[in-house]
Structure 1
Amino acid sequence: MRVPALIRISAVSAALAASLVACSSLPSVPSQPARYDLGVPPPVQGSQATAFPVLALADIQSRTQHDASTAVLYRLAYADGQALQAYGQARWSQPPALLVQQRLREILGQGRTVLSAESGAQPPLVKGRPVPVLQLSLEEFSHTFTSADRSAGVLRLRATLVEPRRSGDTLLGQQVFAVQQPAASANAAGGTQALAQAVAEVGAQLQTWLNGVTPP
């Protein structure tokens, strides 16, 4: 018995519709979070006289988030200023403390030699003597909103410069650097850009401060 052409076409259409419905019920592929870093390094400037031509940089400490976290944090100061929250679709390319340390090393390396002071290891020696060690603590690194449409990248960094000695470290100086860089937009893209600018500003201030500390 031959099936009429109209019935065959209807059957094919029904099968195609069922296939489309099945495909539409499949879970969609989740979108990947946007990843941010601190952008292009600052241009290399000419060498300049420094108070500490050789410096050791210790591993930076972070009080804002877990060392392995890459979350981009924001704070609604106008609503609940004590709560830090994370953007759902934004991440740093590396833990922010590591990004800040790398960028500050690049800035401080303009005009001086920057060595590494590993935790628990003997400080680097130059001509048999330990070099001053710069210890950094990242105390705030967030996109902070003062209102629904006004925000800034807020960075607070504590710098401590010590001279290692067998009898104990000698404090050469300590300074807290706090910068608020206005954000161009009230989202993760604007916040990360403002924070990158804040790091560059703190790097310049840190460079000036180090040049003003009297060597031992």
Structure 2
Amino acid sequence: MTSAIRNAIAIAAAAALLGACASKGQPTAQYDFGPLPQASAPAPAAIGALIVADIAGPNALDTERMQYRLLYADARQSRPYAYNQWTATPFQLMTQRMKARIAQAGVKVLSTTDAAASPTVLRMEVNDFAQNFDSATSSTGVVDLRASLFRNHKLVDQKTFTRSSPAPSPDAAGGAQALAAATDAVTADVLAWLATLPPQKE
């Protein structure tokens, strides 16, 4: 048997194992980001009241199905877990988490229906939200998003943020934990960025 064939068999076996994880007669496992971690330092008051729009992104992520990539096999292919899923789409989970974390930092968080209450709007678009396997036993949760701050419908600033967190286990449960941690880290980065922007003029 050639090394190429052995590699192909190993990759296929790893994909089958991950895809069928937690499927042995068990019901579908559902994951979210878990409870909020301990509050970080309060955000500067200069941020003021903030409308946080629902996070958007590629159609491939607009689903409750949990997905992963085998970077060592084909990084261009996203594979679904067979019996594991999110409780909501990644966009919905991230929006909920971001709003909660920003509010936890002391910022008044408003929805888009409260447009009359604040001229400041934070919009975020996901570029990547993935559990990436470097090997059959090692993976990382990666979150990459672009944040844009608008005041009175004018762009104030825009920045891209990327964070990764190692998964504690090579499965869907580990991926959920890693992606929650990466999302929290990105949120902290977004808050730090907002604090550097010029305050709203009276």
TM class by smaller structure: 0.7 to 0.9
Aligned partner of residue 106 in structure 2, secondary structure: coil
Cα deviation for residue 96 of structure 1 reads 1.2
Corresponding residue of 2:184 = 200
Instruction: Find the residue that maps to 1:91 and give its secondary structure.
Output: strand
Question: What's 1:188 paired with?
Answer: 172
TM-score by length of 2: 0.80
* Equivalent residue runs for 1:1-216 within 5 Å: 31-44=26-39, 47-63=42-58, 65-67=60-62, 69-109=63-103, 110-118=105-113, 124-126=115-117, 130-164=118-152, 169-216=153-200
**Mapped contact 1:53–1:111 kept (Cα < 8 A):** no
Of 57-66 and 205-214, more deviation after overlay is shown by 57-66
**In 2, distance between residues paired with 1:156 and 1:47?**
24
Structure 2 gap segments, 5+ residues each: 1-23
> Whole-Å Cα distance in 2 between the matches of residues 75 and 91 of structure 1?
15
CA distance in 2, matches of 1:96, 1:66: 7
Are the counterparts in 1 of residues 139 and 167 from structure 2 also a CA contact under 8 Å? Answer: yes
SS of residue paired to 1:101: helix
Q: Greater CA radius of gyration, 1 or 2?
A: 1
- Give the CA RMSD over aligned residues: 1.9
CA distance in 1, matches of 2:146, 2:41: 27
Q: Across the two proteins, how many residue pairs are aligned to each other?
A: 176
CA contact (8 A) 1:35 1:92 kept: yes
Judge conservation of contact 2:54–2:91 (CA < 8 Å) in 1. Answer: no
Deviation digits for residues 47-106 of structure 1 (CA, Å, limit 9, x no counterpart):
442332110011110226253x10111011111111111101110011111011100001
Q: Distance in 1 between matches of 2:158 and 2:124?
A: 10
CA distance in 1, matches of 2:187, 2:123: 14
Structure 1 48/176 Cα, relative in aligned 2: closer, same or farther at 3 Å?
Answer: closer
- Cα deviation for residue 138 of structure 1 reads 1.4
Query: Post-superposition shift, 1:215?
Result: 2.6
What letter matches 1:151 in structure 2?
Answer: S
Counterpart of 1:101, as a letter, is T
For residues 32 and 43 of structure 1, what CA distance do their matches in structure 2 show? 32
**What 5-or-longer segments of structure 1 have no aligned partner?**
1-28
Partner-residue secondary structure (3-state), 2:45: coil
CA distance in 2, matches of 1:48, 1:35: 33
Q: 1:181 to 1:80 in 2, by over 3 A?
A: same
The one-letter amino acid paired with 2:100 is E
Q: Is the 8 A contact 1:56 1:124 kept in 2?
A: yes
Q: Distance in 1 between matches of 2:150 and 2:43?
A: 22
**Which residue identity is paired with 2:129?**
F
SS at match of 1:31: coil
